[in-house]
Amino acid sequence: MPETKILLSVFHPDLEKSRGNAKLFEAAKGIPNLSYRDMYLEYDGKYIDGATEEIFLTEYDCFIFQYPMYWFGAPTLLSEWLERALARGFAWPPGEGDALRGKKWMTVVTTAAPADEYTDAPGSASMKTLLKPLELTAGYCQMEWLEPFVVHDVRAIDEGGLTDEALEQVAIRFRSVLEGL
């Protein structure tokens, strides 16, 4: 059985200044069957090129979308990517756009807030609820939705965020998850 080709696309508008996303991105480097992209660096103010993205979508078996949670959602570039890369006739509808059938989708999210702030209580939402639109998108494209990898508390240490040691342990666990795909 051939090795799964994995593409990790990071959607962080300032990855160099990131604490959590930068650590996860670095942890992924060097995995033999994994390629990675910094989407804000690649597109740098330009529109997402749907045709180019379709080439990537055709070449890989597993797609990892990594981003920081902003106002209960993804950065705008990921939203644009979804609109331009997952084109009708290519990615959907089933029977017409079957290019992604059987491929895998994994979402990796970091948050500044602690996990207990993500509940379905009034005025809040659970991470499962917040990620549901992406899960539905993957399903509509006939992709297998993998368990999301969520890291909470990545704000600065002096603001109560994860310690450097704890973040290092998360990065090790993330790499292990990637190596198991």
Tens digit of each residue's pLDDT (9 = 90 or more) over 132-146:
999 999 999 999 999
User: CA-CA distance, 2 to 61, in Å (whole number)?
Assistant: 11
Residue 121 pLDDT > 70:
yes
- Reduced to 3 DSSP states, what percent helix, strand and coil does the chain have, rounded to the nearest 5? 40, 20, 40
Q: Would you identify the CATH topology of the domain 6-179?
A: Rossmann fold (3.40.50)
User: CA-CA distance, 22 to 117, in Å (whole number)?
Assistant: 23
What is the pTM assigned to this prediction? 0.95
Beta strands (DSSP E) in 15-110 are 34-38, 62-68, 104-110
Task: Read off the pLDDT of each residue in 3-21 and give the average, rounded to a whole number.
Answer: 96
Task: Read off the pLDDT of each residue in 85-93 and give the average, rounded to a whole number.
Answer: 96
pLDDT tens profile 67-85: 999 999 999 999 999 999 9
Banded model confidence at residue 2, pLDDT cuts 50, 70, 90: confident
Per the structure block, which two tokens stand in for 80?
């644009």
Banded model confidence at residue 1, pLDDT cuts 50, 70, 90: low
CB atoms under 10 Å from CB of 88, counted, come to 9
User: CA-CA distance, 39 to 9, in Å (whole number)?
Assistant: 6
